[in-house]
């Protein structure tokens, strides 16, 4: 076991999101860059590549300290955050520091009252993190439902038949031009070209 190891963990939900602020906070805390683990993945559960590698390090180096910028970087599932926190602090015997919430620093106040306050704050913040995640999901679902109610097409707009198409399709029917030339003149892709033709060929004849 290596004494006094300090590790950092940072997470964003997508590859497009920036990790810079979290990294800066962890580096300023004094953590070496090669001891910071980064996931660009949803916090819905703990099945994340870098986090699982980090856990193996922590298990081997009991007595270490894990630092995160905020509790929602650890995860967003209320029950799983609580279980994970208990596993890390009790079974792996490590300390956890949440930079944005000084009360969540298990290195301090290890007496009964300190532990009680830390657990209480953790449960409140974990609950808030999950509620926020649920709110985002509900808002997305409501947006989709509203769009459907307004009969908005959420994918590509459907191609509509235009009367002026008749002339070009007739040229193709009469072998005056190729299908490719006809598609080009109409500005249609092959799938749409044949779909419109099959649907409206009686009109063309």
* R_g over Cα of the chain: 29
Q: In what order do the strands lie in the sheet with 95-98?
A: 36-40, 6-12, 65-68, 95-98
Q: Tell me, yes or no, if 13 is annotated catalytic.
A: yes
- Contact predicate 59/72, CB 8 Å: no
Alpha carbon distance 154, 166 (integer Å): 29
Question: Distance from first CA to last CA of the chain, Å, rounded?
Answer: 84
Closest to 65 (Cα-Cα) out of 85, 22, 94, 23: 94
CB 58 within 8 A of CB 88: yes
Q: Where are the beta strands (DSSP E) in 41-190?
A: 65-68, 95-98
Q: How far is the C-alpha of 45 from the C-alpha of 112, rounded, in Å?
A: 30
Which residues have a catalytic role annotated?
A: 13
């Amino acid at each position: 076991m290596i004494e006094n190891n300090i590790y950092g963990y940072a997470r964003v939900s997508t590859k497009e999101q920036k990790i810079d602020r979290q990294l800066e906070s962890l580096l300023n805390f004094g953590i070496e860059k090669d001891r910071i683990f980064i996931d660009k993945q949803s916090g819905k559960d703990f099945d994340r590549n870098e986090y699982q590698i980090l856990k193996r390090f922590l298990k081997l180096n009991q007595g270490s300290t894990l630092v995160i910028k905020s509790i929602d970087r650890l995860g967003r599932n209320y029950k799983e955050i609580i279980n994970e926190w208990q596993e890390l602090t009790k079974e792996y015997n490590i300390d956890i520091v949440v930079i944005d919430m000084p009360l969540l620093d298990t290195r301090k106040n290890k007496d009964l009252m300190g532990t009680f306050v830390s657990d209480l704050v953790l449960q409140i913040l974990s609950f808030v993190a999950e509620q926020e995640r649920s709110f985002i999901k509900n808002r997305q679902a409501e947006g989709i439902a509203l769009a459907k109610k307004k009969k908005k097409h959420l994918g590509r707009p459907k191609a509509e038949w235009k009367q002026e198409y008749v002339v070009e399709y007739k040229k193709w029917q009469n072998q005056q031009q190729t299908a490719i030339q006809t598609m080009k003149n109409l500005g249609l892709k092959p799938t749409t070209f044949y779909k419109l033709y099959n649907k409206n060929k009686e009109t063309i004849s």
